[in-house]
Amino acid sequence: VQLQASGGGLVQAGGFLRLSCAASGHTFSSTAMGWFRQAPGKEREFVAAIKWSGANIEYARSVKGRFTISSDNAKNTVYLQMNSLKPEDTAVYFCAADKVPWRPVASSTVSDYDYWGQGTLVTVSS
């Protein structure tokens, strides 16, 4: 599975961005998609995740109510709509694919994801 993330950029605090992650290759082997982010000098952290079936969505507490993850199965694409952005949202955002079918919920753990995109930079100015 190959993942291509896009949509990052520079935005003022309070603004919005929409990230996209297009999956290609053996996409049938992926059961869930996640968004993670990594700020300079910090560890990669969970943002949001969704089962391709749409049956389960998970959010990090820090983004709940501001970010929305969604999927378009026909396009093998996952989106992250980010509203009310804050300077602390500044990071490189990565999309990732999980191939394990038996997880009851979309995972928030970095090591559970098997495939990773290249990352897209989001910068929120104050």
CA dihedral (27, 33, 34, 40) in degrees, to 10, reads: 10
For residue 11, what pLDDT band results from cuts at 50, 70 and 90?
very high
Q: For position 25, what pLDDT does the model report?
A: 87
- Tens digits of residue pLDDT in 15-47: 999 999 999 988 777 899 999 999 999 999 999
Any bridge partners for residue 2, and if so which?
Answer: 24
Higher pLDDT, 17 or 102: 17
Contact yes or no for 82/19 (Cβ under 8 A): yes
User: Quick check: 5 pLDDT over 80?
Assistant: yes
Contact yes or no for 32/54 (Cβ under 8 A): no
CA distances from 52 to 106, 122, 125 (A): 9, 25, 33
Phi, psi of 81 (to 5 degrees): -85, 120
